[in-house]
Each structure stands twice: as structure tokens, then as C-alpha cells.
Structure 1
């Protein structure tokens, strides 16, 4: 296992509605979660982020089992779901890396109350091979844990291979990203009847045709911070849930990583 701040958060170069194609290597920590649904091929229904070469963080609702599907596989190094290997400007990435799952730990207070504490850690059966296209994201440190680290109105980036078109339910083939502004908590209190945003969550979005959407759940919400080693990308949130119609000027709810950092670190080092 590696949890090395010096090696995390580097980038060599829409659930996303209204996003942009990511560049190859832009988000090397993003992984896909594959589910056995009884068909010959896996269904890739959620995202996540590498924290170490063996640990992935995602949403707790993405790791729940049912009679219809079961999470079996984590894929790292994906960019275009239709090609393997991915190439850009005559430079090709290594093949994707699929790993089985050794264990899953959802937060003990997930859905208590409903919709809250939506966070889980997945341990891989063996480490991924780190390279320019597969790297861990940085976890917040002291300077990224202050209240001023994430400000109202500030755009934060989310990424994934989720729904591109709400009418056709077409999913992205190339990794997408979009910036969503941080909103006052009360803006998210109307997302679901009876829901009240907790201090453990971030409210963001509400921009027409720009949103995370079905298939992006569990993916990272990111911010670039200056560090002594140069700019690095840090994990500040995890895509949790949002409006039924993505990109409809209704905000989305994101699990706040700084709040759960002690829980995450405790479970990584076990």
C-alpha cells in the first residue's frame, strides 16, 4: 500500500451533463465500478477515486448489493470506454487495470438519517500498478481543512462517464468533467422532501445543463491547491445524489471528504 502525499494529485496534462472531454492523463485517480447483473458483460454504474494503490473511495449507495446486481470489479486507467489502449497525440496509455474486490466498508451511519453519510472504502485484491495514467488523488491536509478551503461560489470539478443525454440516457464513452459552483446549504434543502443538508455535505451545482448525473455517483469532487511541490489536485467531495432530471438548475449533494477524513484514514491504515 502507498499513501504518499508527494506522489498524489499530479495530473500530466458529466453523472456529467454539459461537460467537456477530459484529456488523457487529466484525472488518473478516477476509477470505474463494475457490477455483475447476470449478463455476459459488466455494467459500469458508478465511479470512485484511488486513495492508494489498493484503496478506492466511493459513495456507500454504490456498494450496496441487491438481487439484480453485485459490485465485483474496479477498473483503473480508463479514458475512452470504447478503446483499450487509449492514445492521444501519438502517445498511448497502458491497458486498463481490472482488480477484484477484497473487502468493502460503508460508513456505519450510512442512511442514518436517509441519504446521509454516503461514503465507502473499497479494498482491492491486489495493488494497481501506478503510472502516469493511474495515480492516487491527494487527501486534504491541514491547510485544506479550514472553513475557507471551499468557498461559496467557488467552482469545484466533478468527473465521470455518466449520462450525457437525459432523453436517450446515453452514457459518455470518453471521461467527462464539469465545474459546479458551491452553494449555500439551504439551496439543497429542496432536493428531496424532508431532506436537510448536514455539515457533512456540500451543496453545489444548480447551473442549467451542467451537472453530475446517473453513472457519476461515487466519483470525486476536486479542487487544485498550491503546495510546496506545485499545484496538486485534492479530493474535497464524493458525488452522492441530486435531482431526478440532471442539469435542471437544481443542486446536487456531495459528501464532504474533510469531515470524514479521520474515518477514511483509520480504515486505510487497518
Structure 2
């Protein structure tokens, strides 16, 4: 059996399974139109003989499932713990300049990371799209190794039709840095393209979470090192008091106050997000970790260096904007059930 056919069999829904690989359920959903005068720019690298897949599954309690499988030939390539496995984070989005009119990767055209929370909505940090217009951007889903153009499941691209930034976003201090990117057309269902849940409130301090992105491995690395295989890092959440206390020991000074729109994770030497990871997701397990289901709780905001001992990374507090996200999506006529979950 061809590897792709063998793997596709894993995505048939089993009602007796407690772990539903739900991101690949063959469900078609109708996506509301955002604009009538924007033509979708769809780039799906796939076998032309394969029937066009339906829109990404979207509905109550369908989000957040990692699609880890038994692709031994691919998983064997991921030897380093700092790299994500293929299909591990199917909601991961690369924000790109639309001027990059080719499927080839270019670090100069890469803007940052984002999270797919609806077939046509990407949640990201507002400072990553500061000064940009919708017509400047596109989003790529299903990417893993940017240096490999022959992955089993190809990536997809959609143009951005509308950018909605939080009204209280302050660029200079990266406060309330949240933005919604409404796409010209929905992403299509695939094992490597799925939705993340959005957590309504932060888990307790000490909870182990994970961030992923294509940023630099260390501070000072060349810009050309942005990209490659998707990286991941395991990070514990910090309480607000602990976060602020640690950051006051840095160049931020003893007068630093952590804004309510921000939170912290990490602090262990050598384990951190870095330049190029801005806007990328910080996800934590929902329920039993063996179920490989996750919700979004943070987005990479900034850091003092990368991976310095005792210095945590700063993230946008995603649950803080849960209500705002719902309001803005409803204004566009879109359902918010796509990122809701029941533990």
C-alpha cells in the first residue's frame, strides 16, 4: 500500500475511539462571504487526480486534535527534540507577503506565525501585521519543512481579505497585540490542515505547554536561518507575579509592570522562542495528554534575549481576548463554534 493511502486510512472516524483524529473528518461546512470583490488566491500543491477535499471540519467540539500518526519514514527524520513531527500542529500558519508569488520559501517574505481557528480565520499578534494592508498578505497552512517541496501533503495558501486589529493595540509596548485575519476563501480539509481550540482562561502556573514556529534557533542567527523544519519547544506557564519578578531583573528594570494582555512561559536555559516566532501559537493540552488535543493560550510577543536562564518569554494572553474574538467573528457572520471545546 502506498504510504499516503495507508496514512489516509487512519483518518476515518471511529465512533468507538476516544481519540478522534477530527481534523480530517470528511465534513463540508459553508463559510460566510466576507467580501464580494476579493478573488481568492488558492494554491494547493497536491495530486491533480485527487478530488478536491472539503473545507476544514468546523463545529462544536471538533477543534484542537493533533494528527500524529505512524509515518515512520517521516518521523525517523525528526531526530532532534526541538523539531515538531509532521502533522503535529495542523493549525500552524505562516504569514507571508503576497508579493511572494511562488510556493518557494523566502525568509524575506515571511512575516511571522499565526493560528487557524476557523476555516477562514487566522488569529495572530497585531504587531506582526503592523502597517500592513490585507492586500499585502497571504496565509499558508499545512507547511512543515519549508526546505522540502515534496511532502506527502502539500501546503495551501489563501489571500487575506480583511485585517481586524484590537482597538487598544499599542505597537511601541506590544500591548493588546491581537489581530484577526479574515481570508478570501476557506482552507480545505487535509491531515496537515486543522483548527486549534481557543482556551477561555489560562491553565494554572506550572502547566506544561508548547510553542511552535519557524523562527531562529538562537539570538544573533542570520535571517536566512528562518524557516526549515517546524520547531517546537516545551515551556511551563508562569504566574503573573513570578513572571513580573523575573522580568524586573532584566533590562526592563525594577519598575516593569506586566500588562493584563500579556503572560509568560519558560525561563529554562536554552528553551525559548526567538526572533521570527512572533505571532506563533502557545498551546496546552486539553484533558488527558494522551489524547493529543490542544487549545491556544498564548501567542509569541517578545523576549529578552532567547533562552537565557531564568528569563521567561512574553506571550499575548489569548484567553484575555476570547470575548473580543467571538464578537468580531460574529460581526463577519462566522460561527465561533469552530474553536469551542468541552473537556
Per the shorter chain, which TM-score range? 0.7 to 0.9
Residues 124-166 of structure 1 deviation map (CA, whole Å, 9 limit, x = unaligned): 111010221100101225xxx3xxx522222211000000143
CA distance in 2, matches of 1:71, 1:202: 30
Q: Is residue 87 of structure 2 the alignment partner of residue 25 of structure 1?
A: yes
Secondary structure of residue in 2 paired with 1:7: coil
Alignment of 1:37-116 (within 5 A): 43-65=109-131, 71-86=136-151, 92-93=152-153, 95-111=154-170, 114-116=173-175
Q: Is residue 263 of structure 2 the alignment partner of residue 263 of structure 1?
A: no
Q: Specify the alignment match of 2:210 in structure 1.
A: 157
Q: Which structure shows the higher helix fraction?
A: 2
Q: Kindly state the Cα deviation for residue 11 of structure 1 after the two structures are TM-superposed.
A: 0.8
Q: Is residue 315 of structure 2 the alignment partner of residue 254 of structure 1?
A: yes
User: Could you say what the CA RMSD is over the residues aligned between the two structures, in angstroms?
Assistant: 2.6
User: Which residue, out of 178, 182, 194, partners 1:135?
Assistant: 194
Secondary structure of residue in 2 paired with 1:6: coil
Answer with 1 or 2: which has the greater Rg: 2
CA distance in 1, matches of 2:114, 2:86: 17
CA distance in 2, matches of 1:252, 1:168: 18
239 and 168 in structure 1: CA distance in 2 versus 1, 3 angstrom threshold: closer
CA distance in 1, matches of 2:89, 2:175: 27
CA distance in 2, matches of 1:166, 1:113: 21
Q: Is the 8 A contact 1:117 1:255 kept in 2?
A: yes
Q: Is the 8 A contact 1:104 1:121 kept in 2?
A: yes
TM-score calculated relative to the size of structure 1: 0.83
User: Which residue, out of 223, 242, 258, partners 2:284?
Assistant: 223
Q: Which structure shows the higher strand fraction?
A: 1
Q: Is there any run of 5+ residues in structure 2 with no aligned partner, and where? A: 1-30, 32-56, 69-79, 332-343
162 and 113 in structure 1: CA distance in 2 versus 1, 3 angstrom threshold: closer
Q: Is residue 259 of structure 2 the alignment partner of residue 198 of structure 1?
A: yes
TM-score calculated relative to the size of structure 2: 0.66
134 and 200 in structure 1: CA distance in 2 versus 1, 3 angstrom threshold: same
Q: Is the 8 A contact 1:191 1:242 kept in 2?
A: no
The count of corresponding residues between Structure 1 and Structure 2 is: 249
CA distance in 2, matches of 1:235, 1:242: 19
Q: Is there any run of 5+ residues in structure 1 with no aligned partner, and where? A: 87-91
Which has the higher relative contact order, 1 or 2, with Cα contacts under 8 A spaced 6 or more apart?
1
CA distance in 1, matches of 2:162, 2:181: 6
Aligned structure 1 segments of 4 or more residues deviating by more than 4 angstroms? 36-42
CA distance in 2, matches of 1:156, 1:119: 20
